[in-house]
Amino acid sequence: GMAESDLEERLKKLEELNKVIQECKKCDLYKSRKQAVLGEGNPEAKLMFIGEAPGGDEDKLGRPFVGRAGKLLTRLIEATGHKREEFYITNICKCRPPENRTPTPWEMEACFPYLKQQLEIIQPKVLCLLGSTAARAFLNRHVAITKERGSVINWEGKLVYLTYHPAYVLRNPNAETTLFEDIKKAIELAY
Ligand code: URA
């Protein structure tokens, strides 16, 4: 029969991956989460935004970046003239840590293969890492984000762009312009 389109193939693989993570017990976060949050957006995105882990709203709704920090991220993306749906949005950890604590190194390591599968399926050109925790998961070292934001790093042939987490901007409103400029830069790198 007719070969399935590449888009349909990607959607099917992401759906399969979603089923896998809903059953995942590799770390202990499954015990307290409501549901795992795979991510959402364009399966053919050139740019992927990667945060830390779902928070309370994300855990409840099953979608990434839909709470206060997510609304800020969405507003800044749309202020560039682009739509959130044009990109893919996910997290290092697919499950919410209790009381929104920072995921442990083991929790991030255990979950990283799922992100790698998403990268294989979606094949983005640019990864925009939101905050020091996501940066640390990729670079395997401590990252001082105020010093290193704006850096472009080559990671396994992809361009990795480091910036603030939108939750940091909620606590430090003066950083909003910088996050906005960084998002614009990440989009420029992708096209
Ligand atoms: N913070 C994150 O890092 N990810 C989300 O999905 C929401 C808030």
pLDDT in tens, 101-126: 999 999 999 999 999 999 999 999 99
Mean pLDDT of 22-27: 98
For domain 6-190, which CATH number applies: 3.40.470.10, 3.50.50.60, 3.20.20.140, 3.20.20.450?
Answer: 3.40.470.10
User: In the predicted model, what is the mean pLDDT of residues 115-138?
Assistant: 98
- Is residue 162 classed as helix, strand or coil in its secondary structure? strand
Ligand 1 within 6 A of CB of 53: yes
State how far the Cα of 38 lies from the Cα of 26, in Å rounded to an integer: 15
**Would you list the domain boundaries of the chain?**
6-190
**Separation between Cα atoms, residue 98 and residue 119, nearest integer Å:** 27
Q: Is the pLDDT of residue 3 over 80?
A: no
Q: Is 91 in the pocket of ligand 1 (CB under 6 A)?
A: yes
40 lines ligand 1 (CB under 6 A): no
Of all protein residues, whose CA lies closest to atom 7 belonging to ligand 1? 65
Q: What is the helix, strand, coil percentage profile of the chain, to 5?
A: 50, 15, 35
**Cα–ligand 1 centroid distance for 130 (angstroms):** 9
**Antiparallel, parallel or unpaired: β 88-91 and 40-41:** antiparallel
Torsion of CA 89, 95, 98, 102, to 10 degrees: -50
- pLDDT grade, residue 4 (50/70/90)? confident
Q: Does 70 contact ligand 1 (Cβ within 6 A)? A: yes
Please work out whether the CB of residue 51 comes within 6 Å of at least one atom of ligand 1.
yes
CA distance 71 to 68: 5
How high is the pLDDT of residue 187? 98
Quick one: tokens of 6? 């590449």
Mean pLDDT of 43-51: 98
Mean pLDDT of 126-137: 98
CA separation for the pair 157, 69 (Å, rounded): 29
What single DSSP character describes residue 27? S
CB 54 within 8 A of CB 37: yes
Q: Is the CB of 69 under 6 A from ligand 1?
A: yes
Residue 1's pLDDT band (cuts 50, 70, 90)? very low
Residue 80 is predicted with a pLDDT of 98
Contact 65, 73 (CB under 8 A): yes
ipTM, 2 decimals? Answer: 0.91
Nearest atom in ligand 1 to 134's CA: 3
pLDDT of 2 strictly over 90: no
52 vs 87: CA distance, rounded Å: 17
Determine the residue of 52, 88, 129 to mutate for testing ligand 1's pocket, defined as the one with the most ligand atoms within 8 A of the Cβ atom.
52
